[in-house]
Amino acid sequence: MRVLAIESSCDETAAAVLDDAKGLLSNIVSTQIDIHRPFGGVVPELASRHHLQNIVPVVQCALDEAELRLEELDGLAVTRGPGLVGALLIGAQFAKSLAFVSGLPLIGVNHLEGHLYSSRLSLDSVPPAIPTRHLALLVSGGHTALILVEGFGQYRLLGQTRDDAAGEAFDKVAKLLGLGYPGGPIVEEMARTGDCRAIRFPRPMAHAKGFDFSFSGLKTAVANHVRREGLPVGQRVNDLCASFQQAVVDVLIAKALSAARKERVSAIVAAGGVLANGSIRSALQQATQAESLELHIPPLKFCTDNAAMIAAAAMPHLRAGRNDGQSILVSARLPLAA
């Protein structure tokens, strides 16, 4: 089965073709980072306009790289939420048009489910073997959540952030320090040569009952430190970034391991853009190894938003005969179970 997928939930216009026998045939991502950098964050109207300009050439590029024509595909998929409504509409309407003219079945995919399936992608044609029942740790710019996966399409939300997501906290701390946008990779780079023990920031809700997260207080603690000590320069910037990053790492690991023990799972799947952070990946690997848990993290290129993960999530739905067709409606706050 060969699927063309489209992703346009935020500021990447992406298209990919996935073959369930041969693996990933193409994975094209057109980013808008340079467009939004002057504003320190994504501007929804600008994002929508650039999706409109890029979607046709990006999809055509994905088909060309896969060396396939539209009529040689078996199905189509598109992100229907959560995300920016204007951005989602452009991807969905274009996918509906393709489905209409080709007669191919079309699946509307939840962006979060796509992230969960990103760990099933590999750089070759052999997908990793992931236990059917596992714990998923989703960490991105807009979401931080722990999800119990019981099987295909069977998800139970164990906990989520009550305020800022982890990736959002990285971006806000970087902005506070005047480091630029996007903040996550910059903070990670600065932290490489910093002392993570230099500043003892709080670990919000790390050992609280339940599996919810909260990163707003940590962000406020960084702001209060800067207010007291002044804007750091030189090595002090690196130390602050390392200390902040370590606080996030400690919270994520404490919550994930606690949930894994309670639900008695043998494997954790970690996904989302923040998992591109090397320190977080390394810390999770060490922690799960100590607990004798399997850990599945997607390759770096599949951590951030991409269409390959949307294709992977759509594949079992297409095999089951589902066809959403022209009935797809986008939603900015689409829950995972929808």
Structural domains of the chain, ranges and CATH numbers in brackets: 2-121+302-327 (3.30.420.40), 134-297 (3.30.420.40)
Mean pLDDT of 50-66: 98
**% the chain with pLDDT above 90:** 90
Residue whose tokens read 């990946």: 281
Q: Which of 78, 52, 81, 20 is nearest to 335 (CA)?
A: 81
Q: Quick check: 206 and 255 in contact, CB under 8 A?
A: yes
What is the identity of the amino acid at 164?
Answer: D
SS3 156: strand
Q: Inform me whether the pLDDT recorded for 338 exceeds 60.
A: no
> Would you put residue 180 in left (φ > 0), alpha (ψ -120 to 50) or beta?
left
The pLDDT tens digits for 154-189 are: 999 999 999 999 999 999 999 999 999 999 999 999
Read off the DSSP letter of residue 82: S
Task: Output the CA–CA distances (angstroms, integers) from residue 259 to 28, 184, 266, 325, in the order listed.
Answer: 35, 25, 11, 37
Q: Quick check: 138 and 305 in contact, CB under 8 A?
A: no
The pLDDT tens digits for 298-330 are: 999 999 999 999 999 999 999 999 999 999 999
Q: Which of 154, 156, 160 is nearest to 132 (CA)?
A: 154
Rounded distance between C-alpha atoms, residue 199 and residue 180, angstroms: 22
Q: Inform me whether the pLDDT recorded for 67 exceeds 60.
A: yes
Rounded distance between C-alpha atoms, residue 138 and residue 146, angstroms: 6
The pLDDT tens digits for 126-153 are: 677 899 999 999 998 889 999 999 988 8
SS3 154: strand
Write out the H or E segment, with its range, that includes residue 2: strand 2-7
Q: 23-32 burial string, b = 16+ CB within 10 Å, else e?
A: ebbbbbbbbb
Using CA atoms in the order 58, 107, 140, 274, what is the torsion angle rounded to 10 degrees?
-60
Question: Is the peptide bond prior to 182 cis by the omega test (within 30 degrees of 0)?
Answer: yes
Residue 269: phi and psi, rounded to 5, are: -105, 120
- How big is the CA angle at 166 (ends 160 and 167), to the nearest 5 degrees? 125
Show the 3-state SS of 247-307. Answer: HHHHHHHHHHHHHHHHHCCCEEEEECHHHHCHHHHHHHHHHHHHCCCEEECCCHHHCCCCC
SS3 149: strand
The pLDDT tens digits for 218-229 are: 999 999 999 999
pLDDT the model gives residue 337: 63
What is the Cα Rg of the chain in Å? 20
